[in-house]
């Protein structure tokens, strides 16, 4: 397993996590098998957003004395009134469900403000007792870090600017990333190529801001609800693989862990297969280039430019450059620090052109290396 630092939390999380949604309404034996497979594969982060009592009890029982091996992402505001998943902002209801979660697991590592998508969600969460409730729980030690979940980049940007969240759970996949932010992801049951005009600037800005502010991202919907794996429903010329979807998400700035649903041993193992997949199996650049969109000149961090004769990690240098360019007058010290910790920076570039001849999107890499050296060294 590989691990990444989750923003400024100081926690190291496995790059593959387990989303437990599909364990709902499954017998305990099935839940136990999935949890054991995940932990035996060194997965150390689970998302438990589901509000049902039975599934939460089954997960807690399956973890048993291995509870301390994992970090749990639990959501405040997820309820199941009338046995249906629902969102509540009613504080007595919110407290009832979240405190039941705390009793089962003892503490919650990442307490998430649930489903902050609209302007009204933002007001109901950040301008009421809702957010201050989680702040109190953090002071008491019942939760260790505060985060939020969202599918809307505009609302997410606003939430981050409050300074309260340390992490964000966000829907990340190439189909969603290229959907204009004015289009709501849940308004579409299919994704035709006519929707795509390249990576949405607001989503790109969100990923960069998260790195700048040290907000760690955990990923949901990496497979687009399975549509990206389907020849019939994919917006691309051919379906993606699970490994390609994971690799795309992990290449976005600030992403620490991709949480994939798994309800059987085989499904959890399929997610873990990413760790042994070849670079060719992970490569998503050809699929992105099949969309009728203009990516020319824009780095998608696909690593087609590698290997670099000077051994520069070109994609990582470019990520830090893109983030620095959000505000060149006030570059976050953490970005400079991360850049300087690289074995080779932009100043190592010999301008041989090997990278540019391999780039499928015509990115001016030599110029970018020069600019990174100027801004960040």
pLDDT in the model for residue 191: 54
At residue 254, the 3 state secondary structure works out as coil
Q: What is the pTM of this model?
A: 0.82
Angle value at C-alpha 219, between 217 and 224, nearest 5 degrees: 150
pLDDT in the model for residue 137: 97
At residue 76, the 3 state secondary structure works out as strand
Residues of the chain with CATH 3.20.20.100: 3-288
pLDDT in the model for residue 292: 45
Write the burial class of residue 376 (CB in 10 Å: 0-12 exposed, 13-18 middle, 19+ buried): buried
- Give the integer Cα–Cα distance in Å for 153 and 177: 10
CA-CA-CA-CA torsion sign (290, 296, 301, 303): positive
CA-CA-CA-CA torsion sign (58, 59, 60, 66): positive
pLDDT in the model for residue 341: 83
What lies within 8 Å, CB to CB, of 66 at 6+ separation is 39
Please give the CATH superfamily to which domain 3-288 belongs: NADP-dependent oxidoreductase domain (3.20.20.100)
- Give the integer Cα–Cα distance in Å for 206 and 153: 6
Q: Let me know: does 219 contact 172? Beta carbons within 8 Å.
A: yes
Q: Closest Cα partner for 236 from 314, 152, 292?
A: 292
- Give the integer Cα–Cα distance in Å for 16 and 41: 10
CA-CA-CA-CA torsion sign (233, 238, 243, 246): negative
Count CB-CB contacts under 10 A for residue 279: 9
At residue 322, the 3 state secondary structure works out as helix
Count CB-CB contacts under 10 A for residue 287: 22
Write the burial class of residue 326 (CB in 10 Å: 0-12 exposed, 13-18 middle, 19+ buried): middle
Strand partners, 12: 5
- Give the integer Cα–Cα distance in Å for 352 and 357: 10
Strands 16-19 and 86-87: unpaired
Mean pLDDT by 10 residues, the chain (377 residues): 96 97 93 97 96 94 96 94 78 95 97 93 95 96 97 94 96 80 56 58 90 94 84 76 94 94 93 94 80 64 86 89 81 80 92 89 91 91
């Amino acid at each position: 397993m590989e691990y990444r630092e989750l923003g400024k939390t100081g926690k190291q999380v496995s790059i593959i996590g387990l989303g437990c949604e599909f364990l709902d309404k499954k017998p305990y034996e099935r839940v136990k098998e999935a949890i054991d497979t995940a932990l035996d594969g060194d997965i150390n982060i689970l998302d438990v957003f589901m509000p049902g009592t039975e599934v939460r009890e089954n997960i807690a029982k399956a973890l048993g004395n291995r509870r301390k091996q994992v970090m749990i992402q639990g959501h405040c505001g997820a309820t199941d009134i009338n046995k249906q998943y629902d969102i509540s902002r009613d504080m007595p209801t919110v407290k009832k469900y979240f405190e039941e979660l705390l009793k089962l697991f003892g503490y919650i590592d990442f307490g998430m403000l649930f489903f902050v998508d609209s302007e009204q969600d933002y007001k109901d969460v950040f301008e009421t007792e809702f957010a201050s409730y989680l702040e109190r729980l953090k002071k008491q030690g019942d939760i260790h870090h505060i985060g939020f979940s969202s599918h809307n980049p505009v609302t997410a940007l606003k939430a981050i600017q409050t300074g309260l969240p340390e992490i964000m759970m966000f829907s990340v996949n190439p189909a969603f990333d290229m959907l204009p932010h004015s289009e709501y992801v849940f308004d579409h049951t299919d994704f035709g190529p006519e929707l795509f005009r390249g990576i949405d600037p607001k989503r790109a800005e969100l990923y960069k801001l998260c790195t700048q502010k040290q907000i760690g991202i955990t990923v949901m919907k990496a497979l687009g609800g399975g549509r990206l794996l389907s020849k019939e429903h994919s917006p691309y010329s051919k379906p993606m693989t699970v490994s390609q979807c994971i690799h795309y998400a992990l290449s976005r700035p600030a992403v620490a862990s991709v949480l994939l649903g798994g309800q059987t041993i085989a499904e959890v193992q399929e997610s873990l297969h990413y760790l042994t997949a070849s670079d060719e199996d992970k490569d998503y650049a050809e699929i992105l280039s099949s969309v009728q969109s203009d990516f020319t000149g824009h780095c998608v961090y696909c690593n087609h430019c590698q290997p670099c004769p000077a051994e520069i990690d070109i994609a990582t240098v470019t990520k830090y450059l893109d983030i620095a360019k959000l505000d060149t007058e006030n570059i976050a010290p953490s970005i400079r620090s991360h850049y300087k910790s690289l074995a080779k920076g932009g100043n190592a570039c010999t301008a041989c052109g090997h990278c540019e001849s391999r780039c499928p999107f015509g990115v001016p890499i030599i110029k970018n290396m020069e600019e990174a050296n100027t801004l960040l060294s």
